[in-house]
């Protein structure tokens, strides 16, 4: 478990645009840790295109970090507890407790 915790703390992903103009690094919490722009990007892209390119690479990096996090954490969950119930959208602890029974 400690090994997984350390791997999660060190987890990050760098996403680079196909043209190499935008590089984003996202950590295991989904926070942007680095944004690098090739100086030529200001001549090639309009401000709105640059914003779109940055957001796209942030999304790519976040999806990769999420997938890797799932790979590390899912095997540690109790049997029968779906990852998405604990860590997915709308996650909670419901996967750890039985459903309420009708009286």
Q: How far apart are CA 46 and CA 95, in angstroms?
A: 46
Asked whether the predicted pLDDT for residue 16 surpasses 90, the reply is yes
Residue 93: predicted pLDDT:
63
Residue 77: predicted pLDDT:
87
Q: What is the mean pLDDT of residues 14-32?
A: 96
Element (H, E) at 85: helix 83-87
- For residues 95 and 49, the model is more confident at 49
Q: How far apart are CA 66 and CA 26, in angstroms?
A: 10
Residue 88: predicted pLDDT:
73
Residue 95: predicted pLDDT:
55
Q: What is the mean pLDDT of residues 63-88?
A: 87
Residue 84: predicted pLDDT:
82
pTM comes to 0.78
Q: Which domains does the chain have, with CATH numbers?
A: 2-96 (3.30.1310.10)
């Amino acid at each position: 478990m400690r090994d997984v915790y350390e791997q999660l703390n060190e987890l990050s992903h760098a996403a680079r645009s196909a043209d190499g103009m935008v590089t984003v690094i996202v950590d295991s919490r989904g926070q942007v840790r680095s944004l690098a722009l090739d100086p030529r990007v200001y001549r090639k892209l309009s401000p709105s295109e640059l914003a779109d390119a940055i957001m796209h690479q942030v999304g790519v990096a976040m999806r990769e970090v999420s997938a890797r996090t799932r790979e590390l954490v899912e095997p540690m969950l109790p049997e029968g507890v779906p990852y998405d119930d604990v860590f997915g959208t709308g996650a909670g602890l419901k996967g750890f407790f039985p459903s309420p029974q009708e009286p």
